[in-house]
Amino acid sequence: MEISIHNLKKYYGEKLVLDIEELKIKRGRITGLIGPNGSGKSTLLNIISGLDREFLGTVKYDGKLLDKNIYKKMTLVFQKPYLFRRKVYENIEYPLKVRGVNRDERRERVKNIMERLEIEGLKDKKGHLLSGGESQKVSLARALVFNPELLLLDEPTSNIDPESVKVMEREILRFNEETNGTVIIVTHNMEQSERLCHDIIHLER
């Protein structure tokens, strides 16, 4: 999915936190969003994801304004993910259920993504009882499982041990290569952006 932003302004009260005249995020690429604390990275992801609709200007997805259909094709992974008080398996299955995927295929796809992210051991744990890092891994699995056209990641590996970072980065790259899905990732880690990103956007103030 290609994103084009035109004359975007976002205010919190009197304070202007985003001011972007023109920005295109290309389809099928991994774009890094970097910049200091408070520069508006999460705010921009929230706007692109459709979570925050209080802004001036336009955001288009393959040339169209946000609608229900587009909304279903994308997902945002939060830095502090929210998981249901149900088993990890059910958390990951959920996006497939709401998209009407049948039971057998759901089982196959959930199993496959848990293997890829090496989290089979968490299958029966309750989502709300996971550690910060475990939640981030499960949350990435829940996003990847339905092959979104647009994957928005807000510091997805901030609580993750080095071995698991490798696994997550491998799966983000694999997702992009195999499905040609567009990825936008907020990261403070320069090495990570070099490992993953085709394009980089710097947000200043």
User: Is the Cβ of residue 19 or residue 169 nearer to ligand ATP in the bound state?
Assistant: 19
| DSSP reduced 3-state for 59 | strand
Whole-angstrom Cα distance, residue 49 to residue 53?
Answer: 9
> Please, what is the minimum distance in Å from the beta carbon of residue 164 to ligand ATP?
21
Nearest-approach distance from CB 105 to ligand ATP, in angstroms: 36
Cα–Cα distance for residue pair 8/35, rounded to 1 Å: 18
Instruction: Closer to ligand ATP by CB, 28 or 133: give it.
Output: 133
Query: Quick one: 91 or 136, whose CB is closer to ligand ATP?
Result: 136
Shortest Å distance, C-beta 189 to ligand ATP:
12
Name the residues that contact ligand ATP, by CB under 6 A.
12, 17, 35, 37-43
- CB 35 → ligand ATP: shortest distance, Å? 6
> Nearest to residue 60, comparing CAs of 130, 96, 7?
7
Give the residue with the Cβ less far from ligand ATP, 86 or 188.
188
In the complex with ligand ATP, the residue whose CB is nearer, 37 or 69, is 37
Beta bridge partners of 60: 4, 65
Q: Minimal distance in Å, beta carbon 8 to ligand ATP? A: 13
* Phi, psi (deg, nearest 5) at residue 134: -60, -40
Q: What is the DSSP letter of 62?
A: T
CB of 83 to ligand ATP, least distance (A): 20
Q: How far is CA 135 from CA 44, 110, 157, 185, in A?
A: 23, 16, 10, 17
Backbone angles phi, psi at 21, to 5 degrees: -70, -50
149 touches 182 (CB < 8 A): yes
Beta carbon nearer to ligand ATP, 17 or 165: 17
